[in-house]
Structure 1
Amino acid sequence: MWIVPEKEIAALMTREAAFDAVEKVFAAMASGEAYNFPVVREAIGHVDALYGFKGGFDRSGLTLGLKAGGYWPHNLETKGIINHQSTVFLFDPDTGRVHAMVGGNLLTALRTAAASSVSIKHLARPDAKVIGMIGAGHQATFQLRTALEHRDFEKIIGWNLHPEMLPNLEKVADEAGLPFEAVELPGMQEADVIISITSSFDWTLGADHVAPGTHLACMGTDTKGKQEVEPALLARATVFTDEVAQSISIGEAQHAVAEGLIAEGDVHQLGAVINGTHPGRTSDDEITLFDGTGVGLQDLACAAAVVEMAIEQGIAIEVDV
């Protein structure tokens, strides 16, 4: 078995490599070449933590495995480490033997950011110039940096429940040489693209906060009960997702479906747009929404690429199991 420690990931996986891996995975999922296993994600009744497993199999890439981990909300304040913790395990699909164990924290951040940017590439209007951020935590900076690498935005606006965190976004804006403005939620009407990345269980972004023609990437809802946007917003939008089954059960769409505002058939795979079997955006006034629930195949694709590079560079550690 090969081991690639967390400390080595930054030197191996780039934002661009993560973007390419995630885009290919979405396409493989939509064509039936790759599928995810049912997600296990539960509150463990200890330190308010959420823990679970996401896995899958990609026939085209022969990638099989799972990610184990979750969200420990008090880590940063009590332990000085990030709240999201995870490890990826890869298996040989021909024998079932364990192939690799890979640190999953940075990989999770990179693949989550890549997913929203893939949605922006395929669904946002070509003339989109203002990007809005809902949330200003650790993951929000990854989302924003990746988005700025794939579109020529001219301005960044941001809102966070705790305004004292907004300098995290302003720093990224300064690095990119772009103006940043803190706004109240109605001010999001100025945005052509909005990325929402919070851990909220009560919606904050309302349907009337979003202008016609906007593309939204809702990236924070991955558990039953979590919610970032008003359900009525999904009824106004054309809804896309990474995995339909997850979207309607643990993703942002769970609430709109429960209220009868949309049905399962109203949620489309982003991979179908990538493959050309769904037209995606059809007008400049259409609101498009990507419900990024986070699928195990994203983690596996990024981890497999990292293991290959780590072996080639002599960084991976080999152990007998």
Structure 2
Amino acid sequence: MIIVPEAVIADLITPEASFDAVEKVFASMAAKSASNFPVIREAIGHADALYGFKSGFDRAALNLGLKSGGYWPGNAEKGLTNHQSTVFLFDADTGRCRAVVGGNLLTALRTAAAAAVSVAHLARPDARVLGIVGAGHQAAFQLRAVAAQRDFARVVAWNRSPAKLDRLAAVAAELGLPFESVSLDDLGAQADVIVTITSSFDAILRADQVRPGTHLACMGTDTRGKQEIEAALLARARVFTDEVAQSISIGEAQHAVAGGSLRADEITELGAVINGRHGGRTSAEEITLFDGTGVGLQDLAVAAAVVDLAVERGVAIDVDF
């Protein structure tokens, strides 16, 4: 069995490789050659933590396994990231455990890659202003990955505590992009692409704050009850997702579907756009929205890529198991 520790992963996989892995997974899902299994995600009654499992099998890539982990909101005070996870890969032919891979950085990279894939396939080609809602650990990954998909001229951002936007401003500076902290009204009025990446349980962005032609990547809602945007915004938009079943149960679409303003059959898998079975954006005025719930197959794909790189570069730990 191969072990790839968290500490070596940053030197192995790039945002570009993560993008490729996630894009291929979405295509396999839409082609029905890959399936996610039901998600388990529960409050454990200790440390205010959410813990669960995401798993699946990609028959094309033969990636079989699961990610175990969750969200510990007090971890920042302990010098740890709030999201903690580990990926387990199994041999599809025998069921033996093939690899154990640190999942913290991979989760950040695959989440950012999913948003980036949605922007690559759905945002207007002339998008120039990138808006970010949220300033947590994941926000910097989102900015780096999404900024590479269009010729953005500047970044506008909002966070409940504006002082926490300093890290995003530093990333924008690294990318050579002017950065401004703005109100939600101003963000919606200026941004051509908006990424929401919060852990909110109350809608932050209203439907009337988003202008025609915007693409939204809603990446924070992955649990029943969470909500980043007003349900009325999904009713205005053409909605895409990684997986419809998750979108309507634990994703951003859960509220619009429950309220009757959106039907499950009106939501399209992003993989169908990648495969050419769906045309994606239909006009420059259309609002497109990607509900990124985070599927287990994404984790397996980036973990498998890391295992291959670790073996190739001689940094994998091989143990008898």
1:129 aligns with 2:128: yes
Compute the displacement of 1:217 (Å): 0.1
Q: Which moved more, 1:108-117 or 1:304-313?
A: 304-313
**Residues 176-187 of structure 1 aligned to structure 2 (within 5 Å):** 176-187=175-186
1:303 aligns with 2:303: yes
Which residue of structure 2 lines up, in the alignment, with residue 97 of structure 1? 96
SS at match of 2:306: helix
Q: Which moved more, 1:236-245 or 1:305-314?
A: 305-314
Which residue of structure 2 lines up, in the alignment, with residue 50 of structure 1? 50
**Residues 171-250 of structure 1 aligned to structure 2 (within 5 Å):** 171-187=170-186, 188-250=188-250
Q: For the residues of structure 2 that align with 1:142 and 1:84, how far apart are their CA atoms?
A: 14
**Residues 263-278 of structure 1 aligned to structure 2 (within 5 Å):** 263-278=263-278
Alignment-mate amino acid for residue 162 of structure 2:
P
Compute the displacement of 1:313 (Å): 1.3
Compute the displacement of 1:164 (Å): 1.2
Q: Percent identity?
A: 70
Compute the displacement of 1:150 (Å): 2.1
**Residues 59-78 of structure 1 aligned to structure 2 (within 5 Å):** 59-77=59-77
TM-score w.r.t. the length of structure 1 is 0.99
SS at match of 1:109: helix
Compute the displacement of 1:163 (Å): 1.0
Unaligned runs of 5+ in 1: none
Q: For the residues of structure 2 that align with 1:9 and 1:179, how far apart are their CA atoms?
A: 30
Q: Report how many residues are paired.
A: 320
Compute the displacement of 1:267 (Å): 0.8
Compute the displacement of 1:319 (Å): 1.1
Q: For the residues of structure 2 that align with 1:112 and 1:43, how far apart are their CA atoms?
A: 22
Q: Indicate if the aligned counterparts of 1:102 and 1:303 stay in contact, CA closer than 8 A.
A: yes
Q: For the residues of structure 2 that align with 1:53 and 1:277, how far apart are their CA atoms?
A: 31
SS at match of 1:320: coil
Unaligned runs of 5+ in 2: none
Q: Deviations over 1:215-248 (max 9, x none)?
A: 0000000000000000000000000000000000
Q: Indicate if the aligned counterparts of 1:137 and 1:168 stay in contact, CA closer than 8 A.
A: no
SS at match of 1:150: coil
Q: For the residues of structure 2 that align with 1:46 and 1:116, how far apart are their CA atoms?
A: 31
Which residue of structure 1 lines up, in the alignment, with residue 83 of structure 2? 84
Q: For the residues of structure 2 that align with 1:179 and 1:264, how far apart are their CA atoms?
A: 39
Alignment-mate amino acid for residue 225 of structure 1:
G
SS at match of 1:17: helix
SS at match of 2:148: helix
Q: For the residues of structure 2 that align with 1:215 and 1:304, how far apart are their CA atoms?
A: 30
Alignment-mate amino acid for residue 303 of structure 1:
A
Q: For the residues of structure 1 that align with 2:6 and 2:315, how far apart are their CA atoms?
A: 12
Compute the displacement of 1:25 (Å): 0.3
**Residues 94-173 of structure 1 aligned to structure 2 (within 5 Å):** 94-173=93-172
Alignment-mate amino acid for residue 83 of structure 1:
N
Compute the displacement of 1:38 (Å): 0.5
Q: Deviations over 1:190-233 (max 9, x none)?
A: 10000000000001000011000000000000000000000000
TM-score w.r.t. the length of structure 2 is 0.99
- Computed over aligned residues only, the root mean square deviation of the Cα atoms, in angstroms, reads 0.6
Which residue of structure 1 lines up, in the alignment, with residue 2 of structure 2? 2
Compute the displacement of 1:173 (Å): 1.2
SS at match of 2:119: helix
Q: For the residues of structure 2 that align with 1:141 and 1:147, how far apart are their CA atoms?
A: 10
Compute the displacement of 1:146 (Å): 0.8
Q: Deviations over 1:127-174 (max 9, x none)?
A: 000000000111000000111122210010000011111111111111
Alignment-mate amino acid for residue 167 of structure 2:
N
Q: For the residues of structure 2 that align with 1:198 and 1:104, how far apart are their CA atoms?
A: 20
SS at match of 1:38: coil
